[in-house]
Amino acid sequence: ETGVTQSPTHLIKTRGQQVTLRCSSQSGHNTVSWYQQALGQGPQFIFQYYREEENGRGNFPPRFSGLQFPNYSSELNVNALELDDSALYLCASSLGEGADTQYFGPGTRLTVL
């Protein structure tokens, strides 16, 4: 086990709704990265938070946003859900000191109907 936890495990929403996903990082890690994994694909980088600031973003629209809290836990918010947002959402924590191993949580399976 990595010590990275995510909630909820599964979630079903309808198109147009908003969703918040949560992640608790491994003890001692100050960096959280979020990834979207569509079925049968590799994870795609959404964004990264380092010491409560967004520290890089992938090719995702602004309706994907996030937060990192003083205890380094994090939230991913997605507004105006679309059917294509259905995926496994993964968070990964790391020490944040340059290129460093990212340890993943179990993910949240989001289904948009």
Partner 1 sequence: GESVGLHLPTLSVQEGDNSIINCAYSNSASDYFIWYKQESGKGPQFIIDIRSNMDKRQGQRVTVLLNKTVKHLSLQIAATQPGDSAVYFCAEEGSGAGSYQLTFGKGTKLSVIP
d(CA 77, CA 68): 12
Place of tokens 């973003």: 57
Does position 104 bind partner 1 by CB under 8 A?
yes
Number of Cβ within 10 Å of residue 9's Cβ equals 9
Does position 101 bind partner 1 by CB under 8 A?
yes
Answer for which of 4, 19, 81, 112 binds partner 1 (CB under 8 A) is 4
Please identify, using beta-carbon distances, which residue of 34 and 80 lies nearer to partner 1.
Answer: 34
As given in the structure block, the two tokens for residue 43 are: 């994870």
Q: How many residues does the chain have?
A: 113
As given in the structure block, the two tokens for residue 61 are: 């629209």
Among 1-9, 13-21, 64-72, 76-84, which window interacts with partner 1 (CB under 8 A)? Answer: 1-9
Does position 27 bind partner 1 by CB under 8 A?
no
Minimum Å gap between C-beta 60 and partner 1 is 12
In DSSP terms, 89 is beta-bridged to: 36, 108
Please identify, using beta-carbon distances, which residue of 24 and 107 lies nearer to partner 1.
Answer: 107
Q: Which residues contact 12 (CB under 8 A, 6 or more apart)?
A: 110, 111, 112, 113
Binding site for partner 1 (CB under 8 A): 2, 4, 6, 33, 35, 40-45, 47-48, 50, 55-58, 90, 92, 94, 96, 98-107
